[in-house]
Structures are given as structure tokens and as C-alpha cells.
Amino acid sequence: MATHVSPAPAPPVAAPGWSGQQHYPPPPPPPVRGGRRRGPIGLWILAGVAAIASIAALVLSVIAVVGKPSDVRPAPTTSAAPTSTAPIVFDDAADRPLCEALPDLMREANSRSNAFIATPVDSPERKAAIPRFKAESEAWATRMQQVIAAHSEPSRYLTRTLQRYVDDVLLYSQNVYPERPYDKFDDATWNLAIVDYGGALGRCQQLGVHW
């Protein structure tokens, strides 16, 4: 009995460019989960853009606040121009009553001064006379000051020169002491008092008042 042999299978048909190896379709790409992942550079770029946007918003808000006009405006201030009055030199109506109140006080000052300077400088007599001279000069200056205050308006040549004379007498009497030797600078104060005394004396003599 003859044996039946099945024919061998035919080889696959070769495609163009086939090298004898069987081709298979490429596998599908993996599914994307949660969006595409960004690298470090991309994250830094996003952070920088966000920061710039925040700064720009802040600047715009500040400009809006500053540029907004205020509802409350300060009231304009007005300052009055200072008025100046020229110093008065002579005022017969005011000077005459003051001169008439001076003779007794000025004669008292003359007598005290003449008695004091009649004693030799640095002598026992001068040192003994200093305490009384100081006390009497201060009491006299107090009474003189009351007279000047009663006739002080307006300020004028007579009131100013008379005030200087009173101050000079006080300055001299306050700077001499029995225990302190003679100081040549005291002479300058004494002489200044005489000069200021002459201002009041001359003005009152112009008005017919003498002492």
C-alpha cells in the first residue's frame, strides 16, 4: 500500500524590502496619566511669570491709591504781615510828667554817689562804706523802676536812657565788695552810668525840669 505524503507549506509572501525576518506592528504608546510632566526649567519659568504678575498688580494698586485725590484738603493758611512801628525819639506830652517825677530821686543818687567816691580807693573808709552803698543803691533802683514803669508808654529816648542809667548803677553796686580789691573794670561801669545819666538830664532840661 503506497504512503501518502502531504505537501510542505508554502513560505510567506515577501513584502518589499523583506529581509527574511517577519515584521510585526509596533506596540501602542503608553497612556498619558495626569498631563505631561514638566522639567525643572519649566517650573522656574512658571514661578517667575507668577512673581512678575504679582508685582505688577501691586504697583498698579499703589498707583491707584496715590493718584486718587484726597477728599479732605487743608485750609489755606494766611499770615498777617508784621507791622513795625518806628521807635519814638521825643514825646513832650509823655516826657514832661516823667521828668517832673525825677528830681528828688536823681538828687538822692547824686548825694550817695558823691559821698562814696569821696573815699579813697581801697581805703578802710571805702570798704566800710560799700555795704551801705549797695543797700541804698538797690532800694533807690526799686523806686526808680516804679516811676519808669508808670511812664513807660510809649517807649522813647527818655525811658530808654533812664533805664540804662538805673541798670548801670545796679551793675556797679552789685560788683563791689568790701573784701575784694579795687578792679579797674568797675570804673568803666561807673563812667557808663554817668553817660546815661546825662541823657536823662539833658532831655528833662529841654522841657524846663532841673535837679
> Per residue in 127-172, pLDDT tens?
999 999 999 999 999 999 999 999 999 999 999 999 999 999 999 9
Q: Residue 193 belongs to what domain range?
A: 92-206
Structural domain includes residue 191: yes
Structural domain includes residue 20: no
End-to-end Cα, the chain, rounded Å: 192
Structural domain includes residue 107: yes
Cβ distance 168 to 196 under 8 Å? yes
Structural domains counted in the chain: 1
Cell of 31: 497612556
pLDDT of 122 > 50? The answer is: yes
Spatial neighbors of 98 by CB under 8 A, at least 6 apart, are: 147, 148, 151, 158, 159, 162
- For cell 501602542, the residue is 28
pLDDT of 74 > 70? The answer is: no
Amino acid at 36: R
* CA–CA separation, 184 and 191 (whole Å): 11
Average pLDDT of span 10-17: 46
Structural domain includes residue 18: no
pLDDT at 179: 93
Closest CA to 200 of 115, 109, 78: 109
* CA–CA separation, 165 and 163 (whole Å): 5
pLDDT of 28 > 60? The answer is: no
Angle of helix 184-206 relative to helix 92-100, nearest 10 degrees, comes to: 120
What radius of gyration, in Å, describes the C-alpha atoms of the chain? 58
Average pLDDT of span 120-132: 96
The DSSP secondary-structure symbol of 55 reads H
Structural domain includes residue 172: yes
Structural domain includes residue 17: no
Structural domain includes residue 120: yes
Spacing of C-alpha 46 from chain mean position: 54
pTM over 0.75: no
Long-range CB contacts (within 8 A, 24+) of 145-150? 147/98, 147/101, 147/102, 147/105, 148/98, 150/101
Structural domain includes residue 73: no
* CA–CA separation, 190 and 153 (whole Å): 28
